[in-house]
């Protein structure tokens, strides 16, 4: 048998992430394999949500910012506070909020007590977009993850929280 066929058979027998990404060599360690599996899984889980957001004319990052501002209520939040609450970091949050403001999904005003602070609030139009997405997002999350069962999901959540906890200690 040619070497390519043998290599392909070995990769397919290995299964998991190595087979999915057609990596011929073994991973340098379990940590590397888990890291790549996490990235691949995050990508696979985010694609259907991205398509749903696109149907509503927003990006996943814009959805995240709108969701945060809805939770903040009428008082709104400073840009830095929105940035701290984002699921994924956005290096140019100001530009993101500019785009949302141009579409009249958020509004910004200077804080009355501290004029240096600019507060961002969600508008009724922004609330309407979120309202139209609430049920579809809930259904999507259920469709993507409910097959794992409650016990496995709780275990996965605890493992992910443990991984982030260690990172917070290391990189703060």
Residue 121 near residue 107 (C-beta atoms within 8 A): yes
CA angle, 154 then 159 then 165, to 5°? 125
19 in any annotated domain: yes
For the chain, the domain total comes to: 1
55 in any annotated domain: no
What is the reported pLDDT for 3? 41
The model's pLDDT over 94-153, given as tens digits with 9 standing for 90+, comes to 999 999 999 999 999 987 888 888 899 999 999 999 999 999 999 999 999 999 999 999
**Mean predicted lDDT score pLDDT of the chain:** 88
How far apart CA 79 and CA 134 sit, in angstroms, is 24
Domain boundaries, position 40: 1-44
Residue 137 near residue 52 (C-beta atoms within 8 A): yes
129 in any annotated domain: no
Query: 19: pLDDT confidence band, cut at 50, 70 and 90?
Result: confident
What is the reported pLDDT for 7? 39
Residue 32 near residue 48 (C-beta atoms within 8 A): no
Query: 32: pLDDT confidence band, cut at 50, 70 and 90?
Result: very high
What is the reported pLDDT for 11? 38
Q: What is the pTM of this model?
A: 0.82
Question: Greater confidence, 26 or 145?
Answer: 145
Residue 91 near residue 118 (C-beta atoms within 8 A): no
91 in any annotated domain: no
Average pLDDT over residues 38-55: 95
What is the reported pLDDT for 91? 85
């Amino acid at each position: 048998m040619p070497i390519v066929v043998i290599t392909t058979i070995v990769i397919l027998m290995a299964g998991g992430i190595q087979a999915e990404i057609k990596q011929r060599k073994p991973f340098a360690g379990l940590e590397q394999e888990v890291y790549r599996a996490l990235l691949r899984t995050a990508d696979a889980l985010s694609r259907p949500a991205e398509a749903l957001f696109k149907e509503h004319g927003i990006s996943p990052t814009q959805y995240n910012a709108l969701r945060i501002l809805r939770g903040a209520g009428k008082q709104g939040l400073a840009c830095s506070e929105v940035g701290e609450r984002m699921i994924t970091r956005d290096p140019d949050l100001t530009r993101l909020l500019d785009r949302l403001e141009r579409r009249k999904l958020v509004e910004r005003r200077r804080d009355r007590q501290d004029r240096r602070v600019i507060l961002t609030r969600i508008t009724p139009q922004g609330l309407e977009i979120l309202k139209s997405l609430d049920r579809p997002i809930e259904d999507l999350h259920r469709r993507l993850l409910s097959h794992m069962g409650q016990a496995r999901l709780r275990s996965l959540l605890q493992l992910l929280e443990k991984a982030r906890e260690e990172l917070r200690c290391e990189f703060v």
